[in-house]
Every structure is written in C-alpha cells, then in structure tokens.
Amino acid sequence: MLIKPEQLEKEIKQNNPETIFLLFGEETYLLENSLKRIKKNFGETISGINFVTLYENNVENLVQEIETPAFGYEKKLIIIRDSKIFQRGGKGAEPLQEVKEIITMEKKFTSENFEAEVLKSEKPVLVDFYADWCGPCKMMAPAVEALANEQDEVTVGKLNVDFAPELARAYKVMSIPTLILFKNGEAVEKRIGVQSKAELEALIK
C-alpha cells in the first residue's frame, strides 16, 4: 500500500510492529522525518529495541542480520540505507526472492497485540508458542514459515513465551513448541511438540 508521509504515523500505530516500510522519494527531509517517526513509534510500543543500520547490497548479509537474535533486546529494528537490494535489473523496486520470503513470513504476536490480532481476528489464527533458545522450536520453524507463506484463509504466527508468560499460563502452555488454533476468539485445537508441515496443514483444516 502506498501512503504519504502525513499518513505514516497513523499507519504505524494501526499495524503490527513487524511491518516493513520502504521509504523512497527525492525529498531527503521527508525521508529522514518519516524514519524518525518510525523509530519513535517503535520505541513507544516495544520495550527494548536494538537499532541496526546497514548500507548493504548483499542479500545474504541482510538475511543473516535479520536472522540474528536481538541479544538482550525484545525486538530489533533494521534500517537499510541507500541500498539497491530491492531492485532487480533496474526495473523498479521488485523485492528479491530471498527478501520476499522474509517479508511474507508469519506474524509475530505479543502481549500488546494478541487480543486484536488473535482473539478478535475474523480469520482462524494458528499460534506457535515458542522461545528463541528452544531447539525443537527451531526445528519446526521452517514448516511454520512455509505454512504462513501459503495460507490466505488462516493467519499463522508466533508468540515468544519469554516475552508473554501470562499468555502461556492462560492457555496452559507447559512445554514448547505448542501450537494452538483459535477461532472466534476461542482456542479450539492444541498440539504439543514438533509438527511436520503436513500435520500443521491437517490441524488448520
């Protein structure tokens, strides 16, 4: 969706903090001001931000930075400046496949957005309760991400139990990974342990 600078702040507040913004134009002041608004609003909605600025044209390096944990912070905001990484062949800003896969991966749920994104969702929502240190969670991650990329009728996302212990307790998550399917604000299905992509597909049917 194309938005103007004056619409940016409203859009940030309405979106999950995982949103990706592509800022472009010839007015340097407007670009810098828009970036300032993004950083300010992220700081207001998330406790603990690791800001990383890259001047990067290498997709592999960008992917590595995205996949690197925030190390002591709740979230990481990656700012890419003056990069041609979103262009191919000089024909507009077409995302490269490697970046596109990251952009379209599953949602990230938090204590702050859980009610709006999960309980009040008009679509069924599959939530993967996980933690960054969890080996089995990492084993299952590719299957969850693949499912998220393929699904239109079901929202697929992850919730880090270390940052939302109250939600883990509320839904009796005793071990991870645990997957819970929500429909109309209610938990209707639950699976514990590593699931294959086929098992995940069966769960949401």
Among the listed residues 138, 165, 164, the one whose alpha carbon sits nearest the alpha carbon of residue 69: 138
Among the listed residues 151, 203, 152, the one whose alpha carbon sits nearest the alpha carbon of residue 177: 203
Q: For residues 34 and 32, give the distance between their C-alpha atoms in angstroms, rounded to a whole number.
A: 5
SS3 content of the chain, % helix, strand, coil (to 5): 40, 20, 40
**Catalytic (active site) residue 134:** yes
Token pair in block for residue 81 = 């400046």
Q: For residues 108 and 152, give the distance between their C-alpha atoms in angstroms, rounded to a whole number.
A: 16
Token pair in block for residue 144 = 């969850």
> What amino acid is encoded at 41 in this protein?
N
Kindly provide the b/e burial profile for residues 98-135, where b requires at least 16 CB atoms within 10 angstroms of the residue's own CB: ebeeeeebbbbbbeebbeebbeebeebbbbbbbbeebe
**Catalytic (active site) residue 142:** no
Token pair in block for residue 190 = 């639950």
Catalytic residue among 85, 125, 137, 180: 137
Catalytic residue among 126, 134, 173, 180: 134
- Which are the catalytic amino acids? 134, 137
